[in-house]
Every structure is written in structure tokens, then in C-alpha cells.
Structure 1
């Protein structure tokens, strides 16, 4: 005799957020790949243009570990989009400076990112767009602002970047 599966009493929010996030990330990756960037490269360029930031600060903003950040900066340097420079405020620190070529590409990549986001939102009826963004922002700043400590071996979710 087989047991019956328990009845679901709530919408599967985990699936809905995971699936939409996954599809959005794959669309973003494909769109950015057309100009030779990854989402991480875009994130570093944009955040580095906002002000003088160290590699560690940029890694925190982009939720990247040290190794991933080094590989990302190496790729940006190799492409002539960014370079490591001494900090003007702390001679022990090195900042990531975006080159003119990198700033031009960051502008293009931000237009692409905005376009991918716009396309997703425009697929919804107008009245639902603001409601979705409002609800997600409430979750991100409220109940789901801080992850629970992850058990050993669990993957950490990527944090929001602007």
C-alpha cells in the first residue's frame, strides 16, 4: 500500500522564485555574452564606476568569493576593461579602476540588463508589475532579508545587486 503525498497548503514559493530567477539569469547571461561580458563582470564594472572600491568591497557587493573575484578581475584586466591600482586613501589597498573602454562597455551592459528586466516585467499586465516589485522588495527588506545559517554543504544564494 502506498502512502498518499501530503496535501500542499501553500503555493510553492521556492519553486516560483527559483525557476523565475534561473530563467532570468540564463537570459541575462545570453544577452551579456553578446558583448563579451558575464553578469559578474558587469556587476564589477558598474560598482567600480560608482566610486573607489577595493576588490574585497566589490566582491561583497557582488556576493562573490575571493577566487571568483580574482578570476573576474583578471578577465576584466585581460580585456582592457579594468585595472588594479593603489588606493588614494590606503596605500596597502588596491582598488579596481575601470578604463574608458570598460566604462563604455558598462554603459552598454547596463542598457542590456535594464532591457532584460524590462522585458520580464512587460510580460505582466501593467497592474501586476508594481505589485510584484513592491512585494519582492518587502520580502527582500523584511522577512527574507537575512538568510538562516546554512547547514554544511548547502549553497549560499546570491544576494541582490543593483
Structure 2
């Protein structure tokens, strides 16, 4: 009987991307805590501001499921950062409207988010940054744009509770 080596012989692209995304999200969460907002809430505000989008459309842009979007909007409304208003074309749908307080938070958060991104990208040599961002954009705009159907339920990485 021959024994075939089973140890990985190539880089674990999935593991690296999942790990990088998780660590980047934790860095972003820590940085945005200064202005008392989560990355998820900030993401929803940024996608909704200055656009007449329904809650479902903002959820899709923010990559959130329906239940998480409802919880997020409840949080944003309680904080006075956004409101849900009836859509003129469909009374069952709700338009997400960012309040003045939400707009102020976006302004404050923009520098924080840019700073985290600059810090992370700054670890790459300058000539590699544009190549990395271009390749990543092509991947998430192409083959990695949408999840595929699977009989196996794939869950997102869990964020530990504090």
C-alpha cells in the first residue's frame, strides 16, 4: 500500500481570505468604536445615504440577510441615525433615509475607515497596492460576486462576544 501525502501542497486561499476579512473587520470595529458605531451599521449608512433605496436594496448592497437588516435598521433608528419611510411606489417597501446625525457620523467615520485601509495597504510595497486592489476588485466583481447555491449551509465566521 502506498501512502499519498495529504498535507496541503498549495496555499489555502479560502483560509487566507476568510482570516484577512475577519481581522480587517476587527480592526475596523475597534477603530469605529471611537465614534460608537459598528462596521455593519456604518456600512448600511454609507450605502443608503443620498439614495432612494429600499431596505431590501440596502441589505443587498451591504451583504446582509433580511433579519440582520431589520435588526440593524432598528439600531440605527433608535440611535437617530436613519429612518424607514414608506416607498412612494410600493407602500409595503420602506426607503432608508439617513438623518442629519447619520450624515455627521458618516463624515466622522470616513477618515477612520480610510485610516484603517491605509494602514493595512501601507504594509504592501507601493507598486503592489494597485495590483492587489485591481485583482481583488476583479474577483469580487466577477467569480466571487455572488454566492453559489449549495446543499451545504455555509455560515459566516463568528465574531466572538466580549
TM over 0.5: yes
Which TM-score applies when normalising by structure 1?
Answer: 0.85
User: Which residue number corresponds to residue 54 of structure 1?
Assistant: 54
Q: Is 1:132 aligned with 2:132?
A: yes
CA distance in 1 between partners of 2:59 and 2:29 (Å): 19
SS, match of residue 16 in structure 1: helix
CA distance in 1 between partners of 2:92 and 2:148 (Å): 34
Gaps of 5+ in 1: 158-162
CA distance in 2 between partners of 1:144 and 1:60 (Å): 15
Gaps of 5+ in 2: 158-162
Distance verdict in 2 for CA 1:21–1:12, change over 3 Å: same
Deviations 1:76-131 (A, max 9, x none): 11111111112234333221111111111012112211111111101111111111
CA distance in 2 between partners of 1:145 and 1:101 (Å): 32
CA distance in 2 between partners of 1:124 and 1:16 (Å): 16
Question: Across the two proteins, how many residue pairs are aligned to each other?
Answer: 155
* Greater relative CO, 1 or 2 (CA 8 Å, sep 6+): 1
User: Which residue number corresponds to residue 18 of structure 2?
Assistant: 18
Q: CA deviation at 1:35?
A: 0.8
Deviations 1:112-157 (A, max 9, x none): 1111111110111111111111221222233333433233332158
Which TM-score applies when normalising by structure 2?
Answer: 0.85
User: Superposition RMSD on alpha carbons, in Å?
Assistant: 2.0
Q: 4+ residue runs of structure 1 moved beyond 6 angstroms?
A: none
Distance verdict in 2 for CA 1:114–1:87, change over 3 Å: same
CA distance in 1 between partners of 2:45 and 2:146 (Å): 26
SS, match of residue 49 in structure 2: helix
User: Which residue number corresponds to residue 35 of structure 1?
Assistant: 35
Distance verdict in 2 for CA 1:122–1:53, change over 3 Å: same
User: Which residue number corresponds to residue 67 of structure 2?
Assistant: 67
